[in-house]
Amino acid sequence: MIRLTPLAAALLSGCNYAYPAPPSRPAAPSAFTRAPAALAAATPAQVALGRALFHDTRLSGDGSLSCASCHQPELGFGDGRATGVGIGGTKLKRHTPGLWNVGFAPALFVDGRAATLEEQALMPVANPDEMGADPAKVAARLAADPAMRARFAAAFPGGPAVTPATMARAIAAYERTMVSGAAPFDRWAAGSAGSMAPAAVRGYALFAGRAGCARCHNGWALSDGKYHDVGLPDTDPGRGAITGRRRDDHAFRTPSLREIGRAPPYMHDGSLPSLAAVVDHYADGVVARRGAPARVALTAAERRDLVAFLEALDSDAVVH
């Protein structure tokens, strides 16, 4: 077993537009396994209602799509496609992101255009290319269903129950239950030496050390929550379209890496089909562009080790 020395430099978080040099020694595993802050409380009735709404096709304009149509639990809350498909078969421009641990994200969508889960929840519903519905009309449709009206009243007593706001609160409450359990990495970090294969242990040392992955993939969720240019050769302005700042062009929010093996393909455009392809991209494929990271020299064996570590971030968590 490799003995690792703590090094706070590995967890530098101020790398929005410039990537600092990787640390000379990898950070201790505890830097990635400390329990995150508690999420906002919700009642069981609110969570159950949110789950029902998440799977309800009445949230789309033509009744053909639910949130779960694109965020499928068995696919890591993604859809397995390179880019999403919306109402009427509309081809979307970006990859459908997974939702594991989404409650811990400081902003939502890969460009950060929503500040909270409640704000995010109905944006796809109202988007004409995604679910193509009017949230107010959806609320009226649900209110006409006596069983659904009773569920809303139980979840939100004492006020107008079926509204876009209560719909959003319920969906957000359900999404906050999508939290990872302990992964092999967590068990290894806690002292169970056999919980990760030797290749994954070597991959961790690279990830938290020379390869520099932990500069942006840090903390419990293995995400700094910030925006970075990952060097893909596409024209999507990313965060720049939200802020209007040129320095934000091509920058996207760092995704959590927990459960990362569950939801291929990868990147905001879904262009990389496997974790091996992601590692190859950072070694060989990063485009030369101001703000993009430098390529990382990795041997074939080191690339395999990094993939083994990333696969050790998947837990046995099951969302009910």
CATH of the domain at 108: 1.10.760.10
145 and 261, same domain (yes or no): no
Residues 59 and 91 in one domain: yes
The last residue of a domain, from among 115, 149, 175: 175
Of 166, 222, 295, 158, the C-alpha closest to 29 is 222
Classify residue 267: in a domain, yes or no. Answer: yes
Residues for the chain: how many in total?
A: 320
3-state helix, strand, coil in the chain (%, to 5): 40, 5, 55
Tally of domains in the chain: 2
- At position 86, the amino acid (one-letter code) is G
Instruction: Given the residues 130, 175, 259, 302, select the one marked as catalytic.
Output: 130
The pLDDT score that the predictor gives to residue 37 is 72
Q: Are residues 130 and 52 in the same domain?
A: yes
Question: CA nearest 39: which of 118, 95, 121?
Answer: 118
**Residue 214: inside a domain:** yes
Tokens found for residue 162: 């079926």
Q: Which of 304, 289, 237 is nearest to 94 (CA)?
A: 237
Instruction: Among 175, 192, 221, identify where a domain stops.
Output: 175
Instruction: Report if residue 320 sits inside a domain.
Output: no
Active site residue 259: no
**Token pair for 49:** 């209602």
User: Where among 175, 210, 227 does a domain terminate?
Assistant: 175
Do 58 and 111 fall within a single domain?
yes
Residue 80 and residue 133 in one domain: yes
* Sequential pLDDT tens for the chain (320 residues): 333 333 323 333 334 444 555 555 566 677 787 767 778 889 999 999 999 999 999 999 999 999 999 999 989 999 999 999 999 999 999 999 999 999 999 999 999 999 999 999 999 999 999 999 999 999 999 999 999 999 999 999 988 889 999 999 999 999 999 999 999 999 999 999 999 999 999 999 999 999 999 999 999 999 999 999 999 998 899 999 999 999 999 999 999 999 999 999 999 999 999 999 999 999 999 999 988 999 999 999 999 999 999 999 999 877 65
In a domain, 134, yes or no: yes
The closest alpha carbon to 226, from 107, 97, 51, 89, belongs to 107
Instruction: Please indicate, yes or no, whether residues 26 and 49 belong to a single structural domain of this protein.
Output: no
- Segments forming the whole domain that contains residue 284: 8-36+182-311
Both 257 and 274 in one domain: the answer is yes
Residue 2 placed within a domain: no
Q: Which helix (H) or strand (E) holds 227?
A: strand 227-229
- Please tell me whether residues 128 and 196 are part of one structural domain: no
Give every CB contact of residue 132 below 8 A, 6+ residues apart in sequence. 60, 61, 62, 86, 87, 88
